[in-house]
Amino acid sequence: MKIILIELIYYCLRRKHQHTKWFLSGDLKLRQRDFGDGRVGSWISIQEFNICFTMVMYDFIEWCRELDINLEVDMSWNNHRGFVIESKDQVLVRSEIKRFIDINNLKLSDDDEKFSEDEWYS
């Protein structure tokens, strides 16, 4: 039997427009879009840079699988790397994103793309 301890990480809901929500926790920003089919797309930004590539390199997908979260890489929004999850997992994944970044002490890399403010909120 696997016991999972979940640390609740609080995000401030910064904006909401139609099927998209933007969350903020310090320098960490999340953009979540409900696809309307039981899945949610998530894009992650630290200091305006997309950190999803770095998270993949540090095995975030495997991290989620160990928690029984089905997570896949997605590039449907402006060809930016993000993740697709089941809608039921979105609160847990928001918490795990922050925890994963903190535990692995992730920093920006040269491969991380920069988001413009206008694009992020489009």
DSSP states along 35-85 = -SSSEEEEEEEETTEE-HHHHHHTTHHHHHHHTT---EEEEEETTEEEEEE
pLDDT of residue 4: 46
Binned average pLDDT, 10 residues per bin, the chain of 122 residues: 48 87 92 96 94 95 96 94 96 93 88 87 88
pLDDT of residue 10: 64
Spatial separation of the C-alpha atoms in residues 24 and 74, rounded to whole Å = 21
Spatial separation of the C-alpha atoms in residues 108 and 3, rounded to whole Å = 32
pLDDT of residue 9: 52
pLDDT of residue 12: 81
In the chain, what is the greatest distance between 2 CA atoms, to the nearest angstrom?
46
pTM of the model: 0.85
pLDDT of residue 38: 96
